Amino acid sequence: MASLALGRGLDALFGETAQAYENEGTQQDKIIELDLKDIRANPFQPRKSFDESSLVELANSIKQDGLLQPIVVNEDFDGYILIAGERRLRASKIAKLKTIRCIVVSSNDDKMRKFALIENIQREELNSIELSHAYEELIKLHEITHEELSVMIHKSRTHITNTLRLLQLSIKTQKSLLDKKITAGHAKVLVGLDDKQQQLMVNSIIGQKLSVREVETMVKSINNEKKIENKKIDSLSYNFVSLEKKLKSLGLKTKTSVNKITIEFEAENQIEEFLKKFINF
């Protein structure tokens, strides 16, 4: 029952942005013209990168046809905070406009965070890494499962799970994805490799222009080699019990693994003593 209540709450939140826009036609008093300089960016905006050429295109469109859809803001003690419409706000600044049409709604920090997450998810304006963080934050905020989130945002559970797995990638690999040096398809295949292997594969993808299918084949080969190596290690399992006892009787500390015994020396003279005793061992 708790998850159902959370679900309804989040589902209702998804409708709030749409409702604000619907109110435009019936409650004109909610739409006002505000100075751009009085509007601050949403501090909870999940989107960190914006395509400059796309913003310039939007700016030209706004200059020619005007802003067709107002942005949504929340009134603050010293101005207004943007809730939804960051691309439109940025483009309007590029277009050198002085004012912008706004819908003013009442909101708190928690709602502003959720509005920003939801608007970007609905408009599919986030890159794969930003989308991963957005999904992760919604799951944490509402304490819901991947399955519950999939129902609420109308995306498959597999899509959500696979997108979240991108956060397991190394920071360097994530940056390559953000910089569009590799695709999300490439990145998903690299999940599970260690940092060194990921970097090697990223360099190969960029340098050799590898397709996702080619990367899949290479990663499969790496994983098969890893399995063979693990089997070799497992097969080399020795019984060090009697040797360990003998070494301990000589006052030496030891550590053992399946195929290795390590002797630890605490001082230089211990090495000399060991060598003397080792001759007669």
The Cα–Cα gap between 26 and 108 comes to 24
Residue 136 appears among annotated catalytic residues: no
Sign of CA dihedral 187, 188, 190, 195: positive
Give pLDDT tens digits for 91-126.
Answer: 889 989 888 888 887 766 566 666 666 665 655 556
Q: Among the options 24, 86, 266, 272, which is catalytic? A: 86
AA letter at 119: E
Lowest mean pLDDT among 26-30, 104-108, 132-136, 236-240: 26-30
Q: Find the Cα–Cα–Cα–Cα dihedral 175, 178, 184, 186, rounded to 10°.
A: -40
The Cα–Cα gap between 226 and 220 comes to 10
Q: Which pLDDT belongs to residue 7? A: 40
For residue 234, how far is the Cα from the chain centroid? 35
Question: Higher confidence at residue 155 or residue 219?
Answer: 219
- Contact status, residue 71 vs residue 84, Cβ threshold 8 Å: yes
CA distances from 42 to 50, 84, 94 (A): 15, 8, 18
pLDDT of 235 higher than 60: no
pTM of the prediction?
Answer: 0.49
pLDDT of 16 higher than 50: no
Give the model's confidence band at 133: pLDDT under 50 very low, under 70 low, under 90 confident, else very high: confident
Question: Higher confidence at residue 245 or residue 218?
Answer: 218
